[in-house]
Amino acid sequence: MSTKDPRSAQEKVELLQGTLDLLILRTLVLGRAHGHAIAQAIERNSDDVLQVEQGSLYPALHRLIKRGWISAEEGTSENNRRAKFYRLTAKGRKQLALETTKWDKFARAIAGVLRPADQESES
């Protein structure tokens, strides 16, 4: 996953594995979805800031299945094609709550450093 940035490919923000996992779990809260739809939902809900590449998405989905946080099943997509659908498990739902708390804590910690109430430093 990366953020869209017209300036240069080097400016791409690589996402932590764990962060992509969290976004996938969150996206599956409202129901099963196929891989492409998961990527699209993440892109749309981030106002197209995050871009989910297939090379990151499918390894992440396999990782989540292995951990028992999501399950995969065959189904038929809206345009009547066979597709693999992913669904959140009960274990995945618990993990999502944990991971969300962890992300919130992490983001608050970074914000605390970027905008400290007071900061000492030798000058």
Binding-site ranges for its own copies (CB under 8 A): 3, 5, 11, 13-14, 16, 18-19, 22-23, 26-33, 37, 41-42, 45-47, 49-50, 78, 85, 100, 102-103, 105-114, 116, 119-123
Helix ranges, the chain (H):
17-27, 35-45, 54-66, 90-114
- Residue number, 74 or 122, with CB nearest to its own copies: 122
Q: Least CB distance from residue 65 to its own copies, whole Å?
A: 18
Q: Least CB distance from residue 99 to its own copies, whole Å?
A: 10
- For 44, 62, 105, the CA distances from 39, given in Å and listed in that order, are 9, 15, 25
The neighbouring-strand residues paired with 74 are 84
